[in-house]
Amino acid sequence: MTNTQDINNEINILEGFSKKGKSYTNTNGSFGWRNPIRQDTGRILQSLVIAKNPKRILEIGTAHGLSALYLYSGIKETNELVFDTIEFDTAVAKDTQERFDSLQVSINVHAGEAMEIIDNLSGKYDLVFFDAQKSHYFKQLNLLLENGVIGKDTLILADNVIDREEECKEFLEWFTANKINHSIIPTECGLLVANL
Ligand SMILES: C[S@@+](CC[C@H](N)C(=O)[O-])C[C@H]1O[C@@H](n2cnc3c(N)ncnc32)[C@H](O)[C@@H]1O
């Protein structure tokens, strides 16, 4: 049985990490920031999981695991849970997997480039949280759709759609063009919530 208190303690520790985190280089050589979600977003992720009760969760962009722990903390029954998260920095992925293991939370960190990992996923996810490179959201969404690992009733969440709106433009336009029920919550960074 998972200790809720331990998870909440770890969330508090991770909330203390800089929100202007360590920089890294994207696969295309451009610059990125390993910024955890803001606290306002964490509580919303947790509430959406409580409301949706997903059995299969996918996160793209693990970093140190803050958003994953918020998502996990909303799960009522972890027995049948499948929770996959993707991180291309192998050292960070290893460290975060160790964090999850020591908390005894069943989250699998996949170390690698998101497009390659996504291409090898199977089964359908009930909830996907996009939080890696913003300009890749659209191609990641398309690959998930093409491979049938998301579809009707998958809840799509994506961070930074306000503060990084320009990079998310094509991604955001897709929801409007396809008349997908969606809304943008005006958190500090902007959280897209959409139901396919
Ligand atoms: C904004 S941080 C994620 C923060 C995390 N969701 C949280 O709130 O705790 C983005 C993470 O995605 C990873 N990342 C960026 N581009 C990626 C890609 N193409 N494939 C896999 N991981 C990627 C980065 O290394 C970074 O750790």
Question: Are the beta carbons of 111 and 94 closer than 8 angstroms?
Answer: yes
Q: Which domains does the chain have, with CATH numbers?
A: 4-195 (3.40.50.150)
User: Is the backbone of residue 183 left (phi > 0), alpha (psi -120 to 50) or beta?
Assistant: beta
**pLDDT for position 19:** 74
Neighbours of 177 (CB within 10 A): 9
- Give the residue among 110, 122, 15, 105 at the shortest CA–CA distance from 60: 110
Note whether 160 and 185 are within 8 A (CB): no
Q: Is the dihedral of CA 113, 187, 73, 99 positive or negative?
A: positive
E strand or H helix that includes residue 137: helix 137-146
The percent of residues in the chain predicted with pLDDT above 90, rounded, is 80
67 ligand 1 Cβ < 6 A: yes
Tens of pLDDT, residue by residue over 55-97, are: 999 999 999 999 999 999 999 988 899 999 999 999 889 999 9
Pocket test for ligand 1, best of 83, 89, 96, 140 (most atoms within 8 A of CB): 89
For 91-130, how does the pLDDT look when each residue is reduced to its tens digit (9 = 90+)?
889 999 999 999 999 999 999 999 999 999 999 999 999 9
- Look up the pTM and report it: 0.94
**pLDDT value at position 1?**
46
Q: Does ligand 1 come within 6 angstroms of the Cβ of 89? A: yes
Tokens read off for 39:
């606290």
What's the one-letter identity of residue 77?
A: E
**Ligand 1 mutation pick, 40, 62, 94, max ligand atoms within 8 A of CB:** 62
Query: Does position 27 have pLDDT exceeding 70, yes or no?
Result: no
For residue 31, is pLDDT > 70?
A: no
Q: How far is the CA of 47 from the centre of ligand 1 (A)?
A: 22
User: Which is more confident, 160 or 22?
Assistant: 160
C-beta of 97 in contact with ligand 1 (< 6 A): no
